Amino acid sequence: MALTRRQRARVWRGVQYGIAVAVVLVVAFTADWATIGRAFFDFEVAASLFPDVLTIALRNTVVFTALGFLLALALGLLLALMRLSSVAVYRVVAGAYVEFFRGLPALLVVIAIGFGIPLAFGTILDRTLSITLALGIVGSAYIAETIRAGIQAVPPGQVEAARSLGMSPARTMVFIVIPQAFRIVLPPLTNELILLTKDSSLAFLLGTTLTQQELAQFGRAALNEVRSLTPILVVGLCYLIITIPLSYLARRLERRFGSAGMPKGAEV
């Protein structure tokens, strides 16, 4: 008897589950767990990383990310408004900026800011300032497009209602359009914050002292010192301490604001 479509789908899911279980069993019975334990789960090595991994590395990662995101948000809002401006020069400049920095790897931007500017102008940039500028410049190119899309997604009726109440175009944009646009783009902005958290690992290119190390540099230094992969595991868990709550926040915001584009009943 021929199977129905639902039965075939059920059989195929059963096959997939069977393959997954078989792979897990093969790995479980063939892996050298003693070697894996020594390499990744050396508790003495892990204990030696505390509290510095939290009080120095994790703290610096959060600081770099927060400063970079604030700069990226400010620049991104300015660029988004320039992209929507009626002045052609503003649109061209903002468009060129966005396309240029979206097309460059963040690695090159960090090198250009950290080494190129000091060489070109014969000056020395503070390391925190350098990584903040690099993260802000890279992030702003993506955030600008996100905010621009959010502004364009605000219903035209909101603008018309504000204008009919006598509000100027500038006041309408500041008090009506931009707040609603940010409610629409909160989920993608949260995702951009997660990306900047991971991009902060590029700070190791600029050199560090012990008190300036972020998570990636801290893990790399510990790896060279103890010759164990346990520091990498600990550092990875520290990144998850940051990114998992942010991912959960992004999903909550997407469920709240994403389905309808903006909250129901939003009005001037």
165-206 confidence digits (pLDDT tens):
888 888 888 888 999 998 889 888 988 999 999 999 888 888
**pLDDT value at 207 more than 80:** no
Task: Note the pLDDT of residue 20.
Answer: 94
pLDDT digits (tens, 9 = 90+) for 91-142: 999 999 999 999 999 999 999 998 888 888 888 888 889 999 999 999 999 9
**pLDDT value at 44 more than 50:** yes
Report yes or no on 5 lying in a domain.
no
Report yes or no on 158 lying in a domain.
yes
**pLDDT value at 75 more than 90:** yes
- Report how far residue 94's alpha carbon sits from residue 87's, in angstroms, rounded to the nearest whole number: 11
Which CATH number is 148's domain given?
Answer: 1.10.3720.10
28, two tokens = 């479980």
pLDDT digits (tens, 9 = 90+) for 226-268: 878 899 999 999 999 999 998 888 888 777 765 444 444 444 3
Report yes or no on 232 lying in a domain.
yes
Report yes or no on 268 lying in a domain.
no
The burial class, CB within 10 Å (0-12 / 13-18 / 19+), for 142 is buried
Instruction: Supply the range of the domain harboring residue 53.
Output: 41-258
151, two tokens = 């502004």
Contacts of 215 (CB under 8 A, 6+ apart): 53, 57, 58, 60, 61, 201, 235, 238, 239
Contacts of 171 (CB under 8 A, 6+ apart): 162
Report yes or no on 201 lying in a domain.
yes
